[in-house]
């Protein structure tokens, strides 16, 4: 029998899988000190305990959150799973254990290390997703709008309701290069799919013209006597610039190699595209 200090859970990387880890821990009365997604390299003497994903177990844990803790806690945990925090699994795990012990007031335990770290991660996620509502840049290809983003957190599920609502009559795609995922909206339906590579066709002259107009507007609207590059950098760090039209040096076709592919059963983010962001924590 392993002692608690090096108990490792290996799960399939899905939200359901993580819920099953929580289930397992309660059932076996044990506390893992690492919960590992499949992307991590397995070593030869891997002692990790494989946690199978079982929809029923996952549902039991998931459905008990609003009842035993609070509906806000359930939203919070879902958001936590979208963050890029490298320890998000353990944070969510400990948060839920705390919650099952203390009930709804866990959301107010702001001075607790777990709650505080998870909150920080979620704030990072929501603030990044808010930024992208503005920083996403579409290019028009025929009838379709296509944008590429490189976010740190998995923001697509949060961007989906906003863009689908705003561009109701459009067909569009937002490709998340970091996570290899794309949000596709057409005929009033949104879908999140895996995309490994993407090659975009050349843009037409009208598209080039509007890019030129936008760049000109961007340049003109700044007041020279108030130049403040540092302030700009604070609000819009350089990492966003690479996909923004106004910083595109050569206006021309952007090239990525690409092909669309279907979702891989493993490691799917099982959060529906019309997933709603809670308004306030």
As a whole number of angstroms, the distance between CA 219 and CA 144 comes to 27
- Kindly state whether residue 213 participates in binding other proteins, applying the rule CB under 8 A: yes
Q: Measured from the CB of residue 236, what is the shortest distance to other proteins in angstroms? A: 4
- Kindly state whether residue 40 participates in binding other proteins, applying the rule CB under 8 A: no
Residue in 245, 254, 267, 278 binding other proteins, rule: CB under 8 A:
245
E-strand stretches of 34-179: 34-36, 49-50, 139-141, 144-149, 171-176
Site string for other proteins, 157-196 (x = CB under 8 A): -----x--xxxxxx--------------------------
**In the structure encoding, which two tokens stand for residue 97, read together?**
């254990």
As a whole number of angstroms, the distance between CA 90 and CA 70 comes to 20
Using CB atoms within 10 Å of the CB of residue 56, give its burial: 0 to 12 exposed, 13 to 18 middle, 19+ buried: exposed
Contacts of 207 (CB under 8 A, 6+ apart): 139, 140, 141
Angle in degrees, CA 217, 232, 242, rounded to 5: 70
Residue in 26, 178, 218, 253 binding other proteins, rule: CB under 8 A:
218
- Kindly state whether residue 201 participates in binding other proteins, applying the rule CB under 8 A: no
- Kindly state whether residue 242 participates in binding other proteins, applying the rule CB under 8 A: no
Site string for other proteins, 114-133 (x = CB under 8 A): --x---x---------xx-x
Q: Measured from the CB of residue 59, what is the shortest distance to other proteins in angstroms? A: 30
Contacts of 77 (CB under 8 A, 6+ apart): 65, 92, 95, 96
Query: Between residues 101 and 120, which has the closer beta carbon with respect to other proteins?
Result: 120
Residues in contact with other proteins by the rule CB under 8 A: 105, 108-111, 113, 116, 120, 130-131, 133-140, 145, 147, 162, 165-170, 209-210, 212-214, 216-218, 220-232, 234-236, 244-246
């Amino acid at each position: 029998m392993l002692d608690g200090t090096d108990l490792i859970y290996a799960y399939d990387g899905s939200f359901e899988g993580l819920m099953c880890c929580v289930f397992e821990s309660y059932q076996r009365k044990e506390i893992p000190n690492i919960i590992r997604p499949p992307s991590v390299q397995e070593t030869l003497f891997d002692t990790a305990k494989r946690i199978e994903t079982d929809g029923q177990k996952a549902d039991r844990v998931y459905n008990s959150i609003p009842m035993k803790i609070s509906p806000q806690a359930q939203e919070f945990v879902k958001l936590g799973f979208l963050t890029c925090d490298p320890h998000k699994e353990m944070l969510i795990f400990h948060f839920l254990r705390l919650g099952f012990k203390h009930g709804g007031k866990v959301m107010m335990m702001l001075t607790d290390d777990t709650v505080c770290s998870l909150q920080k991660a979620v704030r990072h996620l929501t603030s990044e997703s808010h930024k992208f509502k503005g920083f996403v840049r579409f290019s028009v290809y025929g009838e379709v709008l296509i944008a590429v983003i490189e976010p740190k957190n998995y923001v697509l599920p949060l961007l989906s309701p906003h863009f689908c609502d705003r561009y109701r009559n459009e067909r569009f795609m937002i490709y998340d290069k970091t996570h290899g995922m794309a949000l596709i909206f057409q005929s009033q339906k949104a879908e999140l799919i895996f995309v490994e590579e993407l090659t975009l066709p050349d843009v037409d002259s009208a598209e080039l013209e509007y890019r030129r107009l936008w760049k000109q507007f961007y340049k003109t609207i700044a007041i020279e006597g108030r130049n403040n590059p540092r302030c700009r950098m604070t609000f819009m760090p350089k990492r966003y610039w690479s996909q923004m039209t106004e910083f595109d040096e050569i206006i021309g076709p952007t090239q990525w190699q690409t092909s669309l592919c279907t979702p891989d059963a493993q490691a799917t983010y099982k959060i529906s595209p019309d997933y709603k962001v809670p308004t306030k924590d």
